[in-house]
Structure 1
Amino acid sequence: MWCRPLVLALLLLSAPAMAGVREQVAQLAPSGTVLVTDALGNELVAQNADAPFVPASVAKIVTAWLAMEVLGGDYRFETRFYLDDRRVLYVRGGGDPFLISEELAPLGVDLAAAVGRAPIAGVVLDPSYYPADLRIPGVEDDNEAYDALNSALAVNFNTIYAVRRGDQVRSAEPQTPITPLAIAQVRAEGPEGAGRISLTREPAVSLRYAGELISAFLERAGGRVKGPISIGTVPEGLAPVLVHRQSRPLSEILVELLRSSNNYVANQVFLEIGAHRLGPPVSLAKSLEVANAMLAANGLAADIHLEEGSGLSRGARFTARGLARALALFAPHADLLRGHDGGLNKTGTMAGIRTLAGYADTSGHGRVRFVIALAGDDGALRFRVLRAIEAGL
């Protein structure tokens, strides 16, 4: 263990280097927020470190820390299937954020084995785990994939990815069957082309798409669905014929969440935190209650203000010192971060906002924690600031 005099001596020896880094940071981003701390919490560079800023997607680091603390890295989301004596199939959503085609294919095989080959007389979708009036601050009512509606039961991140040529519509990915609703939604979008659209305007539409896609994979596996798809609740006392546990543990979901910065996944995870700790159904208020209690317990109540789990809301406010302390708490899970530059970091991007936070390895101070928050739309500048920090320390 290093003794305090040795630590002090090393800090004194590195003082000129730190002064040089501070000068470079001030030249590159004179009005920006920049904080760098070492593993002991010593501040190596501090510029506007107490000024509140809009975190954008670096808020997902805090969501990931909360999720690891409350749910644990081995946690798996569940979706339950029930069959009544009329052979009506009920699907109760559990908020699984990764019910994607690659997950639905083996699920379809398991479901076909569970229900048998006799025709299914109808499919009833039960979304009651989520409130019907759920609204996430920052999610706009448009067709952008990053604004996808959160749901107890949704497939492929509540989006449709398809190609249109004239009146013909086909799936843009070989693993995903095209369904009648998908065709109708893509045609309604207008001109030819390829793209991913979100199902944000009508929860019933996204639920029906989930029902169509689950039915398609069930039929691929040898099952048959002859009846209608509707929305309802599972009858009291009916036992599940299949409980599907997501093949990806939470730790793997968080890697994808942080790498791709998927807002839909971030808020599915954030909503699960509240329901897991305070009981179902989910609510944004429950998750914020749990999050705020945990932040307060770690001395972060005044420095980290969340409004949801993705960073979409411009009402969120962080300070650099607060986020640096959150990075210290998240440090055991730092390897979940996969930055675009190959580093252990996360970007945040909104109009007029560019943020970057995470961990960097330096020759003089080992692994440091850093927070960079800049006004403007120059996304490369935050990385130039980071490179100056890495080179100087």
Structure 2
Amino acid sequence: MLVLMLLIGAGTTAADTTLNERLTALLGPRDAVMVAAPDGNPVVAVRPDALLVPASILKVVTALATLHHLGPEHRFITDFHLDGDNRLAIKGYGDPLLVSERVAAMAAELAGRLERIDGLVLDDTYFDQPLTIPGRGGSARAYDAPNGALCVNFNTFFFERRNGAWASAEPQTPLLPFMIDAIEASGLTSGRITIAGNRHEMLRYTGELFEHFLRDAGVATAGTIAPGLLDTDLHTLLWRHRSEHPLTKIIADLLEFSNNFIANQLLLAMGAQVHGPPATMEKGVAVLQHYYTQHLGITTGTLVEASGLSRHNRVSARTMLHVLARFQPHHHLMRQEGRQWYKTGTLQGVSTRVGYLESEAGGLYRFAVLCNTPGRTTDRIMQLLERNLR
């Protein structure tokens, strides 16, 4: 756990008193609001330094730190090697967007380089296992998906019952033996299943998906699917795949879909980049701490993971405005509605929203709204801000 102390000043002398009073009437005792004008001067501030649970607005912090450490054009790689037994060895480096469509395209590329394989060896050792993500439970919900260096489809799949048989509910994803076993073990009749965090299950899912698409592409497959450690002295590099998606695309998806799996994949990738593999949560959070203290100058709050899922995370509205000032060149990566670019956060009893509101002159107000009072949401507060900030 990281405890950070704020170095930003506490004054809001330029705040609009009338708007402050109207906002205060909408806020509960554990809520906070702060807004800065396009010129950077504070417009309103109610409890700007209260340390509150941020929920998913923390992903903006993660995005900013990742852009700094990996670079906006960073592309994740996946390595493919052949060993002396003609087994295809796949080494993952944490690509968070390794989905069925991309696995199919990778298999098609591999089909032009080999005709047959006698087994699959899956190397996920770039990330440590097991990984404990603070706030992540063991539910079947997508936000509880586990992390790893070689994962497909965010470690989830969607299924249904069709004509008396199990079927994939996503046309791009085939029904795999692993999926049938997981469906029957779940007792569900349809819906989404999230892998519970067992390394063997994660790798089985990945291996079966690659095997399926390799066969579809015309590669003869035999042998087993097994975890293993890639030895560059014994394995011949067949192909290094570089993702077609730069980091900016991944961050846009992170902010659009609020994907916890992506957030913590990025945290782990930063940890391995800065401190060396294998990636651990401790290394990733240490990178965030260094970025906060050395690059943002922020020293209050608590960060324990990257997605905002943990209730032990704490930030202030003033901190988030400081983060938004740094993120402003990338604000177009956020979701847009009307003249607002924003990121929301929701946990039980928590409703948060941060972002930018375009002025009539084309400038950007920065806003942070954190509601930790049960039953309060950001909706009426944002309506008031939209009406008054022109």
Same fold (TM over 0.5): yes
Distance in 2 (CA, whole Å) between partners of 1:128 and 1:217 is 23
Query: Structure 2 residue aligned with 1:285, among 266, 282, 304?
Result: 282
Query: Structure 2 residue aligned with 1:216, among 208, 212, 216?
Result: 212
Question: 2:7 matched to which residue of 1?
Answer: none
Shift in CA distance, 71/201, structure 1 to aligned 2, threshold 3 Å: closer
2:100 corresponds to 1:101: yes
Distance in 1 (CA, whole Å) between partners of 2:306 and 2:328 is 19
2:88 corresponds to 1:89: yes
Cα deviation, 1:170-217, whole Å, max 9, x if unaligned, reads 111111111100111112111322x11111241110111000001111
Task: Report if aligned partners of 1:361, 1:390 keep a CA contact under 8 Å in 2.
Answer: no
Which structure 2 segments of 5+ residues have no match? 1-11
Task: Report if aligned partners of 1:267, 1:308 keep a CA contact under 8 Å in 2.
Answer: yes
Task: Report if aligned partners of 1:122, 1:226 keep a CA contact under 8 Å in 2.
Answer: yes
Question: 1:53 matched to which residue of 2?
Answer: 52
2:196 corresponds to 1:200: yes
Distance in 2 (CA, whole Å) between partners of 1:20 and 1:292 is 37
Task: Report if aligned partners of 2:342, 2:353 keep a CA contact under 8 Å in 1.
Answer: yes
Distance in 2 (CA, whole Å) between partners of 1:167 and 1:305 is 50
Distance in 2 (CA, whole Å) between partners of 1:187 and 1:165 is 15
Task: Report if aligned partners of 2:339, 2:358 keep a CA contact under 8 Å in 1.
Answer: no
Pairs within 5 Å for 1:171-190:
171-190=168-187
Shift in CA distance, 377/213, structure 1 to aligned 2, threshold 3 Å: farther
Query: What is the aligned residue count?
Result: 376
Shift in CA distance, 111/368, structure 1 to aligned 2, threshold 3 Å: same
Query: Structure 2 residue aligned with 1:159, among 152, 156, 160?
Result: 156
Task: Report if aligned partners of 2:271, 2:283 keep a CA contact under 8 Å in 1.
Answer: yes
Corresponding residue SS for 2:378: helix
Pairs within 5 Å for 1:1-393:
18-31=16-29, 32-114=31-113, 116-117=114-115, 119-165=116-162, 168-193=165-190, 195-237=191-233, 238-339=235-336, 343-363=340-360, 366-376=363-373, 378=375, 381-393=377-389
Deviation at 1:227, TM superposition (A): 1.0
Question: 1:6 matched to which residue of 2?
Answer: none
TM-score w.r.t. structure 2 length? 0.91
- Paired AA for residue 25 in structure 2: Q
Cα deviation, 1:252-284, whole Å, max 9, x if unaligned, reads 011011000000011101111121122222111
Corresponding residue SS for 1:310: coil
Distance in 2 (CA, whole Å) between partners of 1:388 and 1:192 is 45
Task: Report if aligned partners of 1:357, 1:370 keep a CA contact under 8 Å in 2.
Answer: yes
- Paired AA for residue 97 in structure 1: P
- Paired AA for residue 231 in structure 2: P
Corresponding residue SS for 2:335: coil
Q: Percent identity?
A: 38
Distance in 2 (CA, whole Å) between partners of 1:85 and 1:266 is 37
Distance in 2 (CA, whole Å) between partners of 1:341 and 1:278 is 41
Task: Report if aligned partners of 2:127, 2:268 keep a CA contact under 8 Å in 1.
Answer: no
Task: Report if aligned partners of 1:300, 1:322 keep a CA contact under 8 Å in 2.
Answer: no
Deviation at 1:376, TM superposition (A): 4.4
Distance in 2 (CA, whole Å) between partners of 1:373 and 1:365 is 25
- Paired AA for residue 276 in structure 2: G
Corresponding residue SS for 2:48: coil
Task: Report if aligned partners of 1:38, 1:365 keep a CA contact under 8 Å in 2.
Answer: no
* Root-mean-square deviation (Å): 2.1
Corresponding residue SS for 1:317: coil
**Range 382-391 or range 161-170, more displaced:** 161-170
- Paired AA for residue 110 in structure 1: E
Deviation at 1:377, TM superposition (A): 5.5
Corresponding residue SS for 2:75: coil
Distance in 1 (CA, whole Å) between partners of 2:374 and 2:257 is 20
Task: Report if aligned partners of 1:272, 1:282 keep a CA contact under 8 Å in 2.
Answer: yes
**Range 90-99 or range 34-43, more displaced:** 34-43
**Range 335-344 or range 239-248, more displaced:** 335-344
**Range 98-107 or range 160-169, more displaced:** 160-169
Shift in CA distance, 249/30, structure 1 to aligned 2, threshold 3 Å: same
Task: Report if aligned partners of 1:339, 1:346 keep a CA contact under 8 Å in 2.
Answer: no
Corresponding residue SS for 2:112: helix
Distance in 1 (CA, whole Å) between partners of 2:40 and 2:281 is 32
Which structure 1 segments of 5+ residues have no match? 1-10
Deviation at 1:299, TM superposition (A): 4.8
Shift in CA distance, 40/296, structure 1 to aligned 2, threshold 3 Å: farther
More helix by share: 1
- Paired AA for residue 98 in structure 1: L
Cα deviation, 1:318-342, whole Å, max 9, x if unaligned, reads 0111111011111111111115777
